Amino acid sequence: MIRERILVIGASGQIGVELTLALRKIYGNNNVVASDLREENDLLKGTGPYVSLDVMNKEMLHVQVIRQNITQIYLLAAILSATGEKNPNLAWHLNMQGLLNVLDIAREEKIYKVYWPSSIAVFGPTSPKQNCPQQTIIEPTTVYGISKYAGEFWCNYYFQRFHVDVRSLRYPGLISYKSAPGGGTTDYAVEIYHEALEEKKYECFLREDTYLPMMYMPDAIKATIELMEAPAAQISVRTSYNISAMSFSPKEIAAAIKNYIPEFDISYEPDYRQTIADSWPQSIDDSVARKDWGWAHEYDLQRMTKDMLENLRNK
């Protein structure tokens, strides 16, 4: 029985905080090492070990992997879609080199498993808009999408050539009350809940009829851990799995909020993020994930809205 020691890179980000806490519940606080360039997130303080780490510094990363006896790496550090368009060179460099550093160390040190998230941003305007399948035309138009698609092939390459057990999910827009979003095109779906409670109104940067695939963070964490705990023989996709829970528009999420805050008012002022959103599918076919390792989501728009508002009110 291997004693797992897990390194989470990017632990202070939107996914990292909640994934680190969930992994600590399963594997024990001291066996999950959180790391980030930023200061330790308040929610992580006192829950387990934390190291300041730059994924771009391969030597420093390598030293930590050996020193901490790491057996699994979760690489979550990335520059997201909207932020990436403001600095394309940096987004490409960080998103690619960070992954290659981790894959190379995983190969050298025979790391047991690696997790690296991809995104629906890999899809482009030529991909099917409805029920976008696992294998389809993929021609991304953002630097984030380009870097994620290239990364998927590197993951597959390291698995095929070096037998590194690297696994991945194409996350949709992720919604959470615990940690702030990180500069993506779907961030409106987090902001809208905060503004509904605080201001009773929200100006949305997407059109009211912009449908996008979304997921509540508890489902994203569940999917990630279930994928990583599935037997290797069940993993048929070594690029990245389509994963989905719900699709909705700003108009629909506003209507769901109005069930709880009747006076809530939404207005629309689309900006550069509208072009990014228009290039992505409106819904995702994740039947391969459901078949291979039994993926099943728990939250729809109504259940998520109730939970989000309850938890934000209690913060």
Task: Kindly report, residue by residue over 125-165, the tens digit of the pLDDT.
Answer: 999 999 999 999 999 999 999 999 999 999 999 999 999 99
Q: Are 248 and 209 spatial neighbours (Cβ–Cβ below 8 Å)?
A: no
Among this protein's residues, is 241 annotated catalytic?
no
Mean per-residue pLDDT over the chain, rounded: 96
Task: Reply yes or no on whether the pLDDT at 1 is more than 70.
Answer: no
Q: β-strands 241-242, 201-204: how paired?
A: unpaired
Of residues 107, 137, 106, the one with CA closest to residue 123: 137
Q: What are the backbone angles phi and psi of residue 302, rounded to the nearest 5°?
A: -65, -45
Domains of the chain listed by start with CATH number = 6-173+216-242 (3.40.50.720), 177-213+246-283+299-314 (3.90.25.10)
Confidence of residue 183 (pLDDT cuts 50, 70, 90): confident
What number of H helices and E strands is found in the chain?
Answer: 11, 14
Which of these, 209, 6, 190, 203, lies nearest to 80 by C-alpha position? 190
pLDDT at 197 over 70: yes
Does an H or E element contain 208, and which? none
Q: What is the DSSP string of 5-21?
A: -EEEETTTSHHHHHHHH
Nearest to 295 by CA among 213, 214, 228, 248: 228
CA distances for 220 relative to 132, 151, 217, angstroms: 19, 20, 5
Among candidate residues 50, 74, 115, 144, the one labeled active-site is 144
Helical ranges in 54-142 per DSSP H: 58-67, 81-86, 88-109
Q: What is the pLDDT of residues 3-61, one digit of tens each?
A: 899 999 999 999 999 999 999 999 999 999 999 999 999 999 999 999 999 999 999 99
pLDDT of residue 5: 98
**SS3 (DSSP) at 259:** coil
Higher pLDDT, 183 or 73: 73
